[in-house]
């Protein structure tokens, strides 16, 4: 184990959390290594066990460590899973969108910009498996019986697969995170049946272009999809201007479609 230097100002638990976090990120504590027990840490830092615990909870919330109970238990440096990382990414992006006056148009633009960058790579690299996955989602979307929620989920999946098709796990990660983070926004759009049809057709066109490894065509159809999304967003807003004032603004969900 390493020596933690002593502590001075600001909340004790915060300082302890920072000390350990730094040790992890700087690599002094490697993945799966076990930290000293809470009792030992509290002696080492000369604080009570509760204080150490609060520090550990902070780190656990960031997925940096994981606590196991029992005789050979303790706190271990966590090998973060892809899912945990993605959840964390999504949370961060959503907070960023929700609390920093990000306009709907900006969010859409950011997402489609990222996706169009992915498309360039995906068109050259997509595997047959990727293509099959895309087709599977398309079929799902075409089945008229699925709910709005399922349609949106399938939409998220479709675009995540495009990210995956780049063959670059980091790009796939960012792409999937962005798409999922914006799902609540997309959910606000009313998907009438006709809209679904149009969207699914554009998805199909993109899949075709990827199959043909035709990046230009893929871009063109993605651009069409982006415009159409903006159009739907405008439609949803414009009529309201003359209509009755919207009660909440947050939860649209017009009764039934």
Partner DNA sequence: AAACATTTAATTGTCAGACATTTATACTTT
Partner DNA sequence: AAAGTATAAATGTCTGACAATTAAATGTTT
Kindly write down the DSSP assignment for every residue of 89-158, as one continuous string. Answer: HHHHHHHHHHHTT--HHHHHHHHHHHHHHHHHHHHHH--HHHHHHHHHHHHHHH-TTS-HHHHHHHHHHH
- Residues contacting residue 2 through CB under 8 Å, at least 6 positions apart: 23, 28, 29
Tokens matching residue 130: 């990727």
Q: Is 94 in the site for its own copies (CB under 8 A)?
A: yes
Q: Which does 170 bind (CB under 5 to 8 A by kind): DNA, its own copies, none?
A: its own copies
Q: Is 219 in the site for its own copies (CB under 8 A)?
A: no
Say how far apart CA 188 and CA 196 lie, in whole Å.
Answer: 14
> In the complex with its own copies, which residue's Cβ is closer, 141 or 175?
175
Q: Which does 257 bind (CB under 5 to 8 A by kind): its own copies, DNA, none?
A: none
Q: Is 61 in the site for its own copies (CB under 8 A)?
A: yes
In the complex, least distance from residue 87 CB atom to its own copies, rounded to whole angstroms: 9
Q: Is 99 in the site for its own copies (CB under 8 A)?
A: yes
Of 1, 2, 6, 48, the one binding DNA (CB under 7 A) is: 48
Question: What is the sign of the dihedral through the CA atoms of 177, 181, 185 and 187?
Answer: positive
Q: Is 88 in the site for its own copies (CB under 8 A)?
A: yes
Q: Are 168 and 123 in contact (CB under 8 A)?
A: no
Of 67, 168, 197, 220, the one binding DNA (CB under 7 A) is: 67
Binding mask 146-185 for its own copies (x = CB under 8 A): --------------------x-xxxx-xx---x-------
3 state DSSP class of 194: helix
Would you tell me which residues interact with DNA (CB under 7 A)?
11-13, 35, 37-39, 46-51, 53-54, 56, 67-75
């Amino acid at each position: 184990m390493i020596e933690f230097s002593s502590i001075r100002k600001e909340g004790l638990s915060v300082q302890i959390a920072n000390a350990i976090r730094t040790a992890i990120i700087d690599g002094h504590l490697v993945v799966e290594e076990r930290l000293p027990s809470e009792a030992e840490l509290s002696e080492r830092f000369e604080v009570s066990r509760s204080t150490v615990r609060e520090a550990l909870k902070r780190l656990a919330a960031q997925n940096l460590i994981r606590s196991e109970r029992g005789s050979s238990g303790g706190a271990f440096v966590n090998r973060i899973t892809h899912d945990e990382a993605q959840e964390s990414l999504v949370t961060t992006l959503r907070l960023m969108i929700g609390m920093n006056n990000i306009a709907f148009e900006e969010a859409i633009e950011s997402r489609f910009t990222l996706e169009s960058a992915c498309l360039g790579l995906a068109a050259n690299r997509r595997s047959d498996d990727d293509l099959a996955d895309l087709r599977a989602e398309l079929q799902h979307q075409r089945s008229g019986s699925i709910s709005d929620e399922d349609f949106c989920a399938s939409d998220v999946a479709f675009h995540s697969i495009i990210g995956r098709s780049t063959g670059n796990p980091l790009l796939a990660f960012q792409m999937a995170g962005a798409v999922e983070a914006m799902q609540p926004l997309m959910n606000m759009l009313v998907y009438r049946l006709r809209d679904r049809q149009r969207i699914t057709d554009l998805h199909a066109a993109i899949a075709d272009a990827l199959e043909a490894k035709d990046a230009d065509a893929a871009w063109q159809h993605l651009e069409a999809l982006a415009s159409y999304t903006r159009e739907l967003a405008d439609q949803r807003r414009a009529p309201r201007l003359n209509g009755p004032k919207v009660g909440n603004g947050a939860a649209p969900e017009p009764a039934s479609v």
